[in-house]
Amino acid sequence: MVAPADSTVAAYDSKVEGNIIFTKMDAAINWMRKNSMWPMPMGLACCAIEMMAAACSRYDLSRFGAEVMRFSPRQADVMIVAGTVTYKMALAVKRIWDQMPEPKWCIAMGACASSGGMYRSYAVLQGIDQLIPVDVYISGCPPRPEALLEGLMRLQHKIETEHSFVEQKKELIAELTA
């Protein structure tokens, strides 16, 4: 904003100094992202029941900013694969993952989603990481809600370490510095 040249009134708010924080772009973006994760609940088996419990009032996912479960992949940014992934369902899981916009993360919740679990058979995919990249694996069969919360916090720590601006917005940076 440019003040009129002939004006003697200073357009400067002296109180503004206490309201400004200097930080790195990455840190600011990561801070915003990690405290507002919108999960895509990919509930496939009994793990989904524990996931629902984690979202309800007793365990309360919203304390970590992840209470907005979105059943549309286009509005979600973390997919919680909760349950046994059969080969037939795996195709749908992959498709939903592909529909989620970047940046996106994946939590493999429970033994089945992580490794096929006890289902050593022709019908079950031996871990969802064979199809999509997984950020956090949660052990348990099924994991308790506390374990899911722990996994979510681990994911928050992981997001903190990402170079979200420098790595993910290369084209924008190139445009700005050109």
Partner 1 sequence: MNAAQMVEALKQKFGDAVLETKEFRGEHTLVVKLASAKPLLCYCHDELNFDYLIDVSSLDYMGKEPRFEMVYELYGYGHLQYLRVRTQVAEDVEVPTVSDIWPTANWHEREVYDMMGIKFSGHPDMRRILMWEGYPFFPLRKDFPLEGKPSDLPEVGFTRVAPMADGPFVTTAGAEDTQTREPRSRRPVE
Which residues lie near partner 1 (CB under 8 A)? 87-88, 90-91, 116, 118-124, 126, 130
- Could you give the angle at which helices 145-160 and 47-55 cross, rounded to 10 degrees? 70
DSSP string, 145-178: HHHHHHHHHHHHHHHHT--HHHHHTHHHHHHHH-
Nearest CB to partner 1, comparing residues 56 and 91: 91
Scanning the structure block, which residue is given the tokens 């924008």? Answer: 172
Tell me the closest approach of the beta carbon of residue 175 to partner 1, in angstroms: 36
Tell me the closest approach of the beta carbon of residue 128 to partner 1, in angstroms: 13
Tell me the closest approach of the beta carbon of residue 101 to partner 1, in angstroms: 23
Residues 6+ apart with CB under 8 A from 135: 105, 106, 107, 155, 158
Nearest CB to partner 1, comparing residues 119 and 165: 119
Nearest CB to partner 1, comparing residues 121 and 161: 121
d(CA 114, CA 80): 11
Nearest CB to partner 1, comparing residues 87 and 133: 87
Tell me the closest approach of the beta carbon of residue 118 to partner 1, in angstroms: 8
Nearest CB to partner 1, comparing residues 37 and 93: 93
Tell me the closest approach of the beta carbon of residue 139 to partner 1, in angstroms: 17
d(CA 14, CA 168): 36
